A and B are shown apart, each in its own frame.
Chain A
Amino acid sequence: MLNRSLRLILAALALGAAPVPSAWAEDVPTTPAAAASAPEATAPATGLDTRIQDTKGDVIRLNRDLLVLEEELLFPANTQLALFVSMDVGKLFELDSVQVKLDDKVVTNYLYTPAEVKALHRGGVQRVYVGNLRAGEHTLVAFFTGGGPHERDYKRGTTIKFDKGTDAKYIELRIKDSTAKLQPEFDVKVWQ
């Protein structure tokens, strides 16, 4: 019985001790650095892993080339119009949706997810529309819907007339906070 007991104790020790040395690799939620950085000497990448990483790289590069082709084919630079939405601070306005009309025709109606709004708050700029436009004068009207100060529903529009030349045109619809008026402001920036 003593022998068995010892065996059991040793087994228990092995079981109990296992998580400790293997803490790096097993179920310890290692810090970003630790998790990402178990060196290959201790956790060698398998052949399959390496091939998968290589394939990921190849697919990323192929996607780049395909996206370039798609853009050149569908939205050539001489007719391209890209519309962006950005938010500067944005504490006075909780964005729900944006509607954009181009020459009286609705080109996009976009409903935002909380993750997208958060990304805009952090400085991301969303390309909300890309399309083609003839050279000449055009009118763009954007409607922003959401919650304004004091949790009131808020809908505001902004209009701009612009000339489309033979280069790609980038227009940014900006949501800003007017600290003086304690109201959100919406304006348009024409990049080129």
Chain B
Amino acid sequence: MGKRLSLRVGAQRLGVALLACVCASAAVFAADAPPRTVQDPHYGDGLFHFYQERYFTSITTLMVSQHFERVSHHADEAELLRGGMLLSYGLHREAGEIFTALIDRAAAPSVRDRAWFYLAKIRYQRGFLPESEEALARIGKTLPKDLDGERVLLQAQLLMARGDYAGAATVLGALASSGAAGQYARFNLGVAQVKSGQEKEGRALLDGLGTTTLPPEDTDAGALPAEEFASLRDKANLALGYEALQNQKPEDARKYLERVRLEGLQSNKALLGFGWAADSMKDPKLALVPWTELAGRDGSDESVLEARIAVPYAYAELRAYGQALERYNDAITAFERESRDLDESIAAIRSGKLLEALLGGQRADEMGWFWSLDKLPELPHASRLAPVLATHEFQEAFKNYRDLQFLAANLNDWADKLGVFDDMLANRRQAYAERLPKLLAQADAAGLGGLQQRRETLAAELTQAEATSDAAAFADTQQRAQLARLAEVQAALQQAPADADPDSDTHRARERARLIAGALTWNLAQDFSSRLWEAKKALLATGTALEEAQGHQAALAQAQRDEPARFDAFGVRIKALGPRLQALIPRVAALQSEQQKDLQELAVTQLQRQKERLAEYTTQARFAVAQLYDRASLSSGTADHANKP
């Protein structure tokens, strides 16, 4: 349980550190960069994924939107965001190019300052320290608060890197004491000072950390969580304790080590040191107290293993040889058992079970550190693996392995999709080839050319009728029939002999025909204007409809020319992307396999080191047992000799 907890805490802390790696730039960027009012919805879409820490999706979404020029209002911000996310993935070169380009194109000061900051960071990571300092010096006053804290830390790291510890201490003095970043930086500075010979300053710094009783307030966003703070405090006291031991000051060492909590990541080392300090004070009885406690703890910890032979050593010092012998023998048995357990663990790792168990059959749905180790894998003697899994090296390598797993799944998905795209394109080509002749036949059947000619003839007739005020040209069907009948009547009447008698039938017929002709002419004249207008309107509508039809026909003709080219262009793109995809799939698989071997070797190497240590402890214990037997036989010999007369 204790190990599980300590692994969990350790992994959590590592998780924090590694998540910090991933989000280093991105998370801090997130706190300040995006404006509340999004002026391009697609930029907001990138942020939507970014805020969920789905950086891979965010980067690719942003890049697509940039391709379609859909984030023009946030061009610089989008680039800065993309650069930050690439940096978090360790793509220094690409990120560096983005930041340099932003500076070169004289982006807004707030963007430029952040770009300089990230450049400084990249240069530091790549070991270009003077260049990093130069970039840091170019940062103006618009850096957001969170990033400014990071800037101070970076500056302190640069100063420490060139041995200017006093300068680093001054710079760090400006940081809020409760801030997580400041606390760790102070710890590291203290250690560096002690190592470089400035023991007094370093000790004072570590002592300050080691005696802080109040955890930082939770309200402070950058503050350390209480457990993490306590762990750092333990670490400072442990460092001070061992430094005092090294300098032959066991009383001081006990004072420092006493401050370390009994349950915590550092407690085993503290108990061990506490015992050795007592031993240095020639008080093995006092040493037995912490060592006995330690020897009963989980044997996967090196300090516990050592305590198992330190306890009999103390008994021997106290001349309790029987107990010493018994404890040494117990330790040898335990060490041999541990060694066999380690062999089983090594065999399991080499068979690939470790990664299988760690992944737990889950597929990574994003690239980056979104996983934390909160329980040990289901493997034989898994607790032996806890120290291995908690190392930065292993966690980084495992992150890479998970990333590669994600990339492999991503590429396989695309390989399927690309095949579908190809089929889709083939279907579209086929559908197009089938539909086009039908559409063309329909267009031909409509006889657009003839219709256009007819419209032109009608237009000419209309113009003529309007010019000559030919109302009869607009006669409706009934009127046209009436006019025709009238014409027949009039022709017949003209054939009839002239008759002067007004009462004669002929005369009356002529008169009636005249009246009817007049009425018809009158009616036609009355309707002339409106009918002319309507005819013009109808002619215009016909013209518009004809133009539309011609437009459709032209579009059809255009499509006839363009569509095959468009299909071809898509086909070329699909064909070009296919090999890129197919080249990456085995590349990722090879890297995955290489990374798996690396990870397994890392774990195996660590376990073998544990085995070597066990062997060394076993040898020491056997040697001590032999010495005890020698002593016993010697004293027995002496006693026999003394008893001899």
Contacts and interface: CB of A to CB of B under 8 A. Distances in A.
A55 B407 contact: yes
Given A40-B127, A119-B48, A5 B313 contact: yes
Nearest to A113: B52
Interface in B1-52: 10, 13-14, 16-18, 20-21, 23-25, 27-28, 30, 34-36, 38, 41-45, 47-52
Given A29-B184, A84-B44, A40 B125 contact: yes
B272 A28 contact: no
Interface stretch (B150-158, B337-345, B346-354, B477-485): B150-158
A71 B302 CA distance: 57
Contacts of A68: 64, 67-68
A53 B595 CA distance: 13
Given A9-B245, A57-B94, A125-B48, A35 B60 contact: no
Label chain A's interface by main secondary structure: helix
A58 interface: yes
Given A23-B235, A66-B417, A36 B129 contact: no
A127 interface: yes
B384 interface: no
Contacts, number: 295
A126 interface: yes
Interface in A33-67: 33-41, 48-49, 51-53, 55-67
Interface in B404-422: 404, 407, 410-411, 414, 417-418, 421
Interface string A57-98: 111111111111111110000000010101010000000000
B273 to A, nearest CB: 6
B584 A24 contact: no
B44 A123 contact: yes
Interface in B301-357: 302-303, 306, 309-310, 313, 316-317
A27 interface: yes
Interface in B176-216: 180-181, 184-185, 187-188, 191, 195
A182 interface: no
B180 to A, nearest CB: 6
B400 A52 contact: yes
B233 interface: no
B598 A119 contact: no
B542 interface: no
Contact of A21 (B49, B63, B92, B195): B195
Given A40-B125, A73-B424, A119 B588 contact: no
A25 interface: yes
Interface residues of A, number: 75
A180 interface: no
Given A59-B410, A68-B64, A33 B35 contact: no
B407 A26 contact: no
Interface in A101-124: 115-116, 118-120, 122-124
Nearest to B238: A16
B221 to A, nearest CB: 13
B246 interface: yes
A13 B184 contact: no
Given A21-B195, A26-B391, A124-B48, A31 B20 contact: yes
Given A60-B60, A123-B38, A34 B185 contact: yes
Contact of A69 (B187, B235, B302, B573): B573
A39 B68 CA distance: 37
Contacts of A125: 38, 41-45, 47-48
Contacts of B94: 57
Most buried by B among A19, A34, A41, A86: A34
Given A63-B60, A115-B52, A116-B52, A48 B41 contact: no
B200 to A, nearest CB: 17
Interface stretch (B444-452, B453-461, B462-470, B574-582): B574-582
Contact of B153 (A33, A40, A55, A70): A33
A123 B23 contact: no
B251 interface: no
Nearest to A19: B235
B180 A20 contact: no
B525 interface: no
A123 B47 contact: yes
B635 interface: no
Given A13-B246, A39-B127, A48 B18 contact: no
Nearest to A122: B51
A160 interface: no
Nearest to A69: B573
Interface in B145-183: 150, 153-154, 157, 161, 180-181
Contacts of B620: 4, 8
Interface string B207-242: 000000000000000000000100010010011011
Most buried by A among B185, B242, B367, B591: B242
Nearest to A170: B41
A159 to B, nearest CB: 20
Given A60-B56, A122-B51, A12 B41 contact: no
Top 7 nearest A-B pairs (CB, nearest first) are: A125-B44, A124-B48, A36-B24, A31-B181, A119-B51, A16-B242, A64-B63
Given A31-B150, A52-B404, 5 more contacts: A16-B245, A28-B13, A59-B407, A68-B64, A122-B34
Interface of B: 10, 13-14, 16-18, 20-21, 23-25, 27-28, 30, 34-36, 38, 41-45, 47-52, 56, 59-61, 63-64, 67-68, 86, 88-94, 121, 124-127, 129, 150, 153-154, 157, 161, 180-181, 184-185, 187-188, 191, 195, 228, 232, 235, 238-239, 241-243, 245-246, 265-266, 269, 272-273, 276, 279-280, 302-303, 306, 309-310, 313, 316-317, 367, 390-393, 400, 403-404, 407, 410-411, 414, 417-418, 421, 424-425, 570, 573-574, 577, 580-581, 584, 587-588, 591, 594-595, 598, 620, 623-624, 627
18 contacts: A1-B627, A4-B313, A12-B303, A26-B392, A27-B265, A29-B14, A29-B184, A34-B153, A35-B21, A40-B127, A41-B127, A55-B588, A62-B411, A66-B417, A67-B60, A69-B570, A124-B52, A172-B41
